[in-house]
Amino acid sequence: MHFQTSTILTLLPLFQLGWASTMLKTRNSSDCAPGYYVPNIGNFDLQLPIGSDGSPKTVSGSDLTGCDGFQDPDWFYWDADAKSIIMKAPPSSSGCVKTTNSKHCRTEFRETNPKSWSPSGTNKMTVSLTIVTADDGSHGTVIGQVFSAEYSKPVAELYYNPSGDIYIGVEQSTSGGDSDFTKVGNVPEGTAFTYELSYSDDNLTFSLNGGDSQSFETSQLDNPDSYFKFGNYNQGTDVNSEVDVTSVDIVHTKEEAMTYPQLPLPEGITSRQIDLRSFGHLSFHILEAGSPSNPLILLLHGFPMLAYSWRRTMLPLAEAGYYVVAPDQRGYGRTTGWDMRPYAEVDLYTFSTTIFVRDMLAVVSALGFTKVKCVVGIDAGGVTAGGCAVIRPDVFESVMLLTHPFNGSPKLPFGVASRETQDGTTDSAPVRQKQGSTSIHEQLAALGRKHYKWYYSTPDANAEMTSPSTPGGLSSFLRGYFYVKSASWAGNNPHPLEGGWTASELVKLPYYYIMPLEATMPESINRLMVNETEEAVGLSKEWLSDEDIEVYASEYSRTTFAGGLNWYRAYTDGTFKRGMDVFAGLKIKIPCAFIAGNKDWGTYQEPGTIEKMRDGTFCEDFRFFKMVENAGHWIPQEKPKEVVEGILKLVESLE
């Protein structure tokens, strides 16, 4: 088990760069693809021994995930009895397809997310597997590699031969083909074992079944940036090899050493990291546009969004004379250093409002600003923006909320001080739930529904969303999720819930808010998508291209949804408002405005909240309310022009 100490800089957990310890899911059949049971293979590409001459078939990580991910009945599939990924590879004599610079064929994973890393950090790959049949090569089948991204040659290859001998071959030159072989263990063929390859602190090591590590010299290679490979790389001439993999764990713990996939950003928007971990904060990934000499506008995304979600609004704001910054929030994207321990161990207080506000103050200060002209928040980011406005009105000069109304500061118990009862005892809790009453969740369950925030708080939600069992895997789930919550979906006709927070009113909300009782979120979205035509779904591609979807899929396959879901967990168990009670009863006093799409249910999902923003209950200086036609929940992406106009209207009203 990996654990986290009180200092983020030392021992960081397995999740530190988005790698989940593989948890094998149990199902009654082997109908699903391997990526459903071992979801983190989505961070690899898979090469197969089929395809066209010189160009073997390669399957991207996004196509490997989920129940309907890629599988091949001959070379790559899941065996439910063995609880393993079956990886088979033919010998070179079979006429199998290989690359032009290789003599052998493979069914092998190549790490792609991240594309490479520096060996000065901590980089470990742990694979549990069984070699059913090794090939007849001189050292056997290659079952793992550390591969140089700089030289396109192996740093080290791990071999297994038919006698059960395990060898490691370490390259002695950057030109390749000059390996020094060392026997590092023996495991009989057909016996399960676990190996760890580590290239950490510029030191290459191997260990077998948790035993002592053996070190190998790589200074002759100048410790190049590298990536991992594992699987079945057949080195023989006449024997088919089979490798059965039950799990793979990857640990990377130095974010600054990583090479992430380049974001497809418009020219004029740049990406960089602000590492504040030595100051007790996070390493924040930000997008920025405009000159830092201009007034600062801070853009805060929600769930399941990213800083990238602001790409269509940033340049127009910069062109209007502002320095525009959009960070990946705590728990998202390329911001690192947050609590990524397993579900039961996470400190949910680190996902509370006061912590998110502190994060934004740290970013603002690191950028060299003491004032923010406007903080803009959408969805969960709107909650943080509202917190910024309440807690630090001296820093944030105005606040714009999108899609998620501010629902007020916490209230302290009022008028409940202990008082004497008729029998002389005291009663300090006069307000109790009526006997026989049922909670809103029991009432929803009786109607066959459940609330999405409470689903998001369950232990299984992250795995069910990161590795959906629905058709198309993660990319299709994300496309559907963005589509049905947008104006592109004809099913959105929002209106106020006149009956308030009751089950009979809440069930009027679509399945993405009030879900079918037994469904996962991907299954809920799939029910809404099942009768949608390609033409209808194509409407969403006008503002969210397939390339954009792959950005989201790539980021969430790496980080999982755990960070964002922890925010919901903190919300539903009350930790969310811990620390905010010192601001009990405070209104937003700085100028405030609200923009939403007329096709967005988010405005009304908490009945009465928007009305209290507008009538002065929650906001002292409410400037305007704007409802944008033909816009849904993702308004900065769907209607960026209208959002920019609204932000500029607010900041210009400050003059």
Walking along the chain (655 residues) 10 residues at a time, the average pLDDT comes out as: 28 31 38 85 93 92 87 95 95 92 94 87 92 96 95 93 97 84 97 95 92 91 92 96 94 65 96 89 96 98 99 98 98 94 91 96 97 98 97 98 92 64 39 49 97 97 94 95 98 94 95 98 97 96 97 95 97 84 92 98 92 94 97 98 98 93
Could you tell me if residue 214 is inside a domain?
yes
Say which CATH number the domain at 620 has: 3.40.50.1820
pTM strictly above 0.85: no
**Is there a single domain that holds both residue 556 and residue 590?**
no
221 residue type, one letter = L
- Contact status, residue 613 vs residue 621, Cβ threshold 8 Å: no
Strand ranges for 75-222 from DSSP E = 76-79, 84-89, 106-111, 116-117, 123-133, 141-148, 154-160, 165-171, 179-186, 192-200, 203-208, 214-216
**Is there a single domain that holds both residue 52 and residue 184?**
yes
Could you tell me if residue 133 is inside a domain?
yes
Q: Residue 443: helix, strand or coil by DSSP?
A: helix
Tokens of 276: 């504040």
- pLDDT for 426 equals 35
Cα(475)–Cα(466) distance, integer angstroms: 10
Could you tell me if residue 294 is inside a domain?
yes
User: Which contacts (CB < 8 Å, 24+ apart) does range 605-608 have?
Assistant: 605/509, 605/513, 606/405, 606/407, 606/501, 607/496, 607/497, 607/498, 607/499, 607/500, 607/501, 607/505, 608/500
Radius of gyration, CA atoms only, the chain: 27
**Is there a single domain that holds both residue 182 and residue 247?**
yes
CB-count exposure of residue 479 (10 Å: 0-12, 13-18, 19+):
buried
Q: What is the pLDDT of residues 478-487, one digit of tens each?
A: 999 999 999 9
**Is there a single domain that holds both residue 155 and residue 39?**
yes
Could you tell me if residue 637 is inside a domain?
yes
Cα(58)–Cα(550) distance, integer angstroms: 17
Q: What range defines the domain where residue 314 resides?
A: 269-408+585-653
**Is there a single domain that holds both residue 474 and residue 618?**
no
Number of structural domains found in the chain: 3
Could you tell me if residue 141 is inside a domain?
yes
**Is there a single domain that holds both residue 484 and residue 555?**
yes
Last residue of a domain, one of 573, 607, 622: 573
- Contact status, residue 460 vs residue 467, Cβ threshold 8 Å: no
- pLDDT for 578 equals 79
**Is there a single domain that holds both residue 274 and residue 352?**
yes
Q: What is the pLDDT of residues 261-275, one digit of tens each?
A: 899 999 999 999 999
Could you tell me if residue 261 is inside a domain?
no
- Contact status, residue 68 vs residue 522, Cβ threshold 8 Å: no
Write down the number of H helices and E strands in the chain: 16, 29
- pLDDT for 235 equals 96
**Is there a single domain that holds both residue 106 and residue 159?**
yes
- pLDDT for 190 equals 97
